Structure 1
Amino acid sequence: MSWKPGDRREAHDAMVRVDQAGEYGATRIYAGQLAVMGDRTPTARTIAGMANQEEHHRAFFDALIARRGVRPTALQPFWDVAGFGLGVVTAALGPQAAMACTAAIETEIDLHYQQQLAQLGDEDPELRDAVARFREEEIEHRDTAIASGAESTPGYPVLSALIRAGCRFAIGVSKRI
């Protein structure tokens, strides 16, 4: 059987592509933050723990891309630089701003994964179960960031809105390109 545009496989391939790109971007954001913060503070240790979970998420999607023959995003070199840069900038603004970045991104990822789960329904149990599991960890990251003072960042509403808009943009273009 040959696949036609609009087939479910095409939609699932786009999910895998965007999720891999997002997890890759998350690892780069945390790498940028840790490059500035080092590993000597409680915030840096918290970020390192979240980064480790994101690395596991990315490794899962890397393997899924390879196993299913999904074309990865062509924007990965851009997400590499942009993610690291966002991490550097937010960490340079201070630990609360680094956490504000996490809170904003994970808020969008929660919504993104909720939409994917609704779209998947009972289909593709491997992808559905991974997305559900990773969503729970992303929610934990958001909650940890908020508990760590993310919302106390000067200009938090503006910073959060900008980061969330950037995250939505990245999701949209990574599905296609």
Structure 2
Amino acid sequence: MIQQMWNEEKQHLDTVERLAAKHNTRISWFTAPFSVAAYALGVGSALLGKQGAMACTAAVEQVVGEHYNNQIKELLKDDPERHKDLLKELSKMRDAELHHLKIGEEQHDANSPMYGVFKNVIQLGCKTAIEIAKRV
């Protein structure tokens, strides 16, 4: 299950890099540090065991799913026909992320001690990274 999600995430990265090049969109200067931070978050949550890893997955994927939805809404508002191919790609990736969210939610105990704090800290970090990447 984890390997499948990892493979899908690598595909998403490849897709985003391809789309950025195709649409002449720059990658954030913070891509490398964010990648290191994401890796550290993954390792750190895995060290907490399955509950930690799945709680982290659920927290991250909720934010990522919302981010994809916001991008999709903007493209639909702009020109759905012009953005048809991009919308298809983003929707496909969003659906995979929401599937990861579902797995994470099913595999962790939301009543475990400190879950709420853990989730809020991770989501704040994700949202902050997204806002920084939009600007820099």
Q: TM-score, normalised by structure 1?
A: 0.70
Could you tell me which residue of structure 2 aligns to residue 161 of structure 1?
120
How far off its partner does 1:154 sit? Answer: 2.9
Q: 1:94 to 1:154 in 2, by over 3 A?
A: farther
Could you tell me which residue of structure 2 aligns to residue 62 of structure 1?
17
Q: Which has the larger Rg? A: 1
- Give distance in 2, aligned partners of 1:153 and 1:52: 29
Q: CA RMSD in A?
A: 1.3
Q: Helix, strand or coil for the counterpart of 2:9? A: helix
Pairing of 1:13-162 with structure 2 (within 5 A): 46-121=1-76, 122=80, 123-162=82-121
How far off its partner does 1:69 sit? Answer: 2.3
Q: Show structure 1 runs of 5+ residues with no match.
A: 1-45
How far off its partner does 1:152 sit? Answer: 4.8
Identity rate, percent = 33
How far off its partner does 1:173 sit? Answer: 0.6
The answer to whether the 8 A contact 1:100-1:153 is kept is no
- Give distance in 2, aligned partners of 1:153 and 1:86: 19
Alignment deviations for residues 23-50 of structure 1 (CA, whole Å, 9 cap, x no partner):
xxxxxxxxxxxxxxxxxxxxxxx21110
How far off its partner does 1:65 sit? Answer: 1.8
> Relative contact order, CA 8 A, sep 6+: which one is greater?
2
Give the residue type in structure 2 aligned to 1:63.
R
Aligned length: 132
Give the residue type in structure 2 aligned to 1:161.
N
The answer to whether the 8 A contact 1:97-1:150 is kept is no
